[in-house]
Structure 1
Amino acid sequence: MLAGAALLSLAGMDSVVAQQRDAEQPIEVAADRLELDDQAGTAVYTGDVDIRQGSMQLTGDRVEFQRNEAGELSRATAYGERAYIEQQPDPEQPVVRGWGRKIIYHVAERRVELIDRAELHQGGDTFEGGYLEYFLDRRVVQARAQSEGVEGSQRIRMTLQPER
């Protein structure tokens, strides 16, 4: 039983190491326009925005960064017809890919909200709906057909691959 607990602890460490590796990488941004307000701690990028940091990529027509009082990135929000996010939270796990008209990445919580025509893929498993919330470290998905910012009701659909 102790050996099993140790393995679970090590598995959790991979996620922490992957997160630290990404956090230690520079943030690279390509966009057509930038509006930066250092006092407010905001940056707004527009025009075919492509942001990369380590294994994470975030794209959209518009991406807004919010920094906390310590000057660290606290939230990134992407907007677009098909805004996109991907990250490999753990080197031993498949890349997580998500789409939506609005994507909010809460950095400290390692939580992603996919809003309106939301779609999430991890390995062969897929989830679709009006609103999806994904916790990267815990690999937990929460889904709703209706939510604020969702046009109409978008039924939840999922496909889970059998474990081998």
Structure 2
Amino acid sequence: MPLTLALVGMALIGLTGSGSIMAQQSDAEQPIEVEADQLELDDRAGTAVYTGDVDIRQGSMRLTGDRVEFQRNAAGELSRATARGERAYIEQQPDPEQPVVRGWGRTIIYHVAERRVELIDRAELHQGGDTFAGGYLEYFLDRRVVQARAQGEGVEGSQRIRMTLQPER
């Protein structure tokens, strides 16, 4: 069980760093809360898989899905977190001065080293009044760059890109 908590802890510390040191420090200091119906831990493979209405929270960060899997690299560090479900979900408030960033997709993959989030199939990304939707969205946390495509691996059919940007005030 301690290894499982370490995997979750590494995952959430990696997920909370969305481009703001303030959010990273604040969220990383918060307790980790995990709810799921089942856990399968494979120490040799370096994976922890939670299934059944998974809800993981730490500070302003939240990750949900029917299945959430954490993968470690050879050094024991979190390399990837993957959430799957009819509407997997991720959110975080980068800092108190910015609106919450919310993302949905049938699959959400967070690449820790690259600080990149993939939202796949029926993907949506919202921050304040700005929205992006399509088959595949890729969000680079540090650069705050969004790339969108109508089609991609794991996307059913073609899902046109839609975007709404609010005027700057």
TM over 0.5: yes
Superposed displacement of residue 43, structure 1: 0.4
2:139 is matched with which residue? 134
Secondary structure of the residue aligned to 2:86 is strand
CA contact (8 A) 1:89 1:136 kept: no
Where do 4+ consecutive residues of structure 1 move more than 6 Å? Answer: none
2:115 is matched with which residue? 110
Secondary structure of the residue aligned to 2:23 is helix
Counterpart code for 1:74: S
2:15 is matched with which residue? none
Matched, 1:121 2:126: yes
1:159 is matched with which residue? 164
Matched, 1:69 2:69: no
Superposed displacement of residue 73, structure 1: 2.2
Superposed displacement of residue 139, structure 1: 1.3
1:38 is matched with which residue? 43
CA–CA distance in structure 2, aligned partners of residues 145 and 107 of structure 1? 25
1:85 is matched with which residue? 90
TM-score by length of 2: 0.83
1:54-91 Cα distance to aligned partner (Å, 9 max, x none):
22100000111112233232211000000000011233
Percent of paired sites with the same residue: 91
Out of 102, 105, 128, the residue aligned to residue 100 of structure 1 is 105
Counterpart code for 1:107: V
Correspondences of 1:37-56 after superposition (within 5 Å):
37-56=42-61
Aligned residue-pair number = 151
CA–CA distance in structure 1, aligned partners of residues 74 and 26 of structure 2? 23
TM-score by length of 1: 0.85
1:149 is matched with which residue? 154
TM-align CA RMSD:
1.5
1:28-51 Cα distance to aligned partner (Å, 9 max, x none):
211000000112110010000001
CA–CA distance in structure 2, aligned partners of residues 23 and 66 of structure 1? 19
Counterpart code for 1:37: D
CA–CA distance in structure 1, aligned partners of residues 54 and 72 of structure 2? 18
Secondary structure of the residue aligned to 1:151 is coil
CA–CA distance in structure 1, aligned partners of residues 81 and 58 of structure 2? 12
